[in-house]
Amino acid sequence: MNNMRQKDLRPAPALIEFKGMKFLITDRPSDVTIHHYITELKKNNVNTVVRVCEPSYNTEELEAQGITVKDLAFEDGTFPPQNVVDEWFEILKQNLENDNNATTTTTTIITTTATTTTTPTSTTTTTTTPTTNHHLHTIKPNKSLNNIPTTTTTITTSENTDDKTTCGYQQNPEACVAVHCVAGLGRAPVLVALALIELGLKYEAAVEMIRDKRRGAINAKQLSYLERYKPKARLKHKNGHKNSCCVQ
């Protein structure tokens, strides 16, 4: 059975991990191999599949397993048009968006409100012989404070950890996005390379990381496109905290 699965899913799925984000590059499944494909997806905690080739299989079984399928098809052997790039990053943010480094702290402040009443008292003058220059004051407990009303205020705050090794968008650190074209060697790797570049890698390093797992990925035209691509902080988390962006 394991040998059959390897044949059904050749070349083997490539898991790419960087700064807390995970991508699974695969070839295109079919209705015949969909069950084996789902097994592979679940093993890698995939919750979204992005297919960049023409639809060729039914998505109902994937959706029944809680896996969302998005279509971003573009021409084989080329690089993605701008609208596909925009949609790709929107999918990533919708899938993973959350301030993963935020922890909620609840602080309870109890405020005591007291009304001070001044009662006139008589003054007695006593002549004594001072022994030191210090005055000793004795404070007696005020039993009336026991009945003073209190006000309780609860303040909830969020703390953000400036973790430079983690992407600012990530709700589930184990979540993974799968992306496939026909063979998993061109269009799908290009989209993953774009994400890696936005996460801080140079294009050469991004391509090398993918090719280490997916030999022969990315052709010359696609490589030239990645070389010209300028990152635009698309995976930067904007939530009002100056240290909230973990992508450097």
Q: Which residues carry out catalysis?
A: 181
CA distance 155 to 94: 29
Q: Which residues contact 80 (CB under 8 A, 6 or more apart)?
A: 52, 72, 74, 88, 187, 190, 191, 194
CA distance 112 to 102: 32
**Which helix (H) or strand (E) element contains residue 159?**
strand 150-160
CA distance 44 to 140: 68
CA distance 208 to 218: 10
Task: Name residue, tokens 């979540």.
Answer: 175
**Residue 7 tokens, joined:** 């044949």
Contact 91/69 with Cβ under 8 angstroms?
no
